[in-house]
Amino acid sequence: MHKSAAAEISSYLKHGDYSVAVRRILDLCLDSGVDDLIKKAINWSREYHAHEKADPGKALPQNFIDTAENLLAEATKPETGTWQNYQLVSAEKISKTYSKGNFSLKPISISINTGNVLGIVGENGNGKTTLLRCVAGQLALDNGEIKYHLLKDPDSYAIKNHIAFIPQRIPKWYGMLKDNLHFSAAIAGIYGDKNDLMVDFMLERLNLSSYAHLTWSQISSGYRTRFEIARILLQKPRLLILDEPLANLDINAQQTILTDLIFMAKGSHNPMGIMLSSQQLHEVEKVADTVLFIRQGECLYKSNDKEGKITSNAVEFETTAARETIIDLFGEDNIELQFNGGFYTIISSQLSAQQIIGRMIEGQVPVTYFRDITYSTKRFF
């Protein structure tokens, strides 16, 4: 695993994708479990960020690349901390009805392993947060059962110690941001120099070092989300549950945070499962192993169960061409064409996505946006 990661990182370095290379090398050094190596990686990452801040776009000095290669070589040397896949949580037909109000979460079954990402999508007020809070042990179940496979006869405190839940509205932090991180690491049993090391690592890993001495009111909502993720990761949860984590992030940060979480979930330092809800369908679908679509408390679609259920292909696209031009191009019987005011959606049981875009190119239809949504929950919206 280390060797394939090393090859991937070498490729990033070779092609100048330094930002992702820095993050991946940090992960690799953390997985090695060698403190000195982690320290070196942190210092090297600081150099990179300082350079980027001072001279953005300017070529990095050769010694930076040399250090990267040395770190890579050292991090891949010890085959310590091999990643293992095991079941973390399974929920069997869990349901919940609120005593006040008429909303019900219908029976849902899920299972999450280490390294798994379970995405939950759906419109507002349809039960995403309820499901997440049930799994996090925050809401009592009406029916069904949740098993936390790594815990033996756990009480509620042990479950909440085992699982981290980041709500959509993150509670305010008080005091200096870095103190909060040290505190979170310490309550998870990371003491002394290791505490300093892990906090420095997390700050560098999420590129937050330059904000560490600020307070909550001095940072933007996007950075608040990132600090909350850093804090939670320091507590080494086995299951990370995030409710709409992308809501406050810009488009670049959304992708970065998601990929960072996946890399860390799959790392041997603290292999964990991730469960997240989001309205950013495409971003979630890109990283999730399983996607649940929930409407009115009921799971309408689970991406793992797609066999046998999807009988037609679907694409969405944006064009300046008239509706008649598109119908003429495909023939009215071959497709179902819908327009939501912004995008056109074509559903066809005969044509694949490649065939549809091929025809549009042949017919010289101007296309500014195209996406295959055959297996996407987008088609349910």
Q: Given the rule CB under 8 A, which residues bind another protein?
A: 99, 137-141, 155-157, 159-161, 174-176, 178-180, 182-189, 191-192, 195-196, 213, 235
Looking up tokens 């997440």 gives 132
Q: Phi first, then psi: what are they for 192, rounded to 5°?
A: 60, -135
Q: Which is nearer to another protein, 112 or 185 (CB)?
A: 185
Q: Which is nearer to another protein, 106 or 236 (CB)?
A: 236
Written as one letter, the residue type at 174 is Y
Least Å from the CB of residue 194 to another protein: 9
Looking up tokens 């990267």 gives 68
Least Å from the CB of residue 177 to another protein: 11
Least Å from the CB of residue 138 to another protein: 6
Q: Which is nearer to another protein, 192 or 341 (CB)?
A: 192
Least Å from the CB of residue 113 to another protein: 23
| Gap between the Cα atoms of 132 and 212, Å rounded | 29
Looking up tokens 């040290």 gives 182
| Gap between the Cα atoms of 356 and 315, Å rounded | 8
Q: Which is nearer to another protein, 182 or 295 (CB)?
A: 182
Least Å from the CB of residue 358 to another protein: 53
Cβ distance 296 to 147 under 8 Å? no
Least Å from the CB of residue 101 to another protein: 12
Q: Which is nearer to another protein, 188 or 242 (CB)?
A: 188
Q: Phi first, then psi: what are they for 293, rounded to 5°?
A: -105, 125
CB-CB neighbours of 133 under 10 Å: 17
CB-CB neighbours of 243 under 10 Å: 22
Cβ distance 89 to 135 under 8 Å? yes
Among the listed residues 135, 140, 134, the one whose alpha carbon sits nearest the alpha carbon of residue 111: 135
Written as one letter, the residue type at 231 is R
Q: Which is nearer to another protein, 6 or 159 (CB)?
A: 159
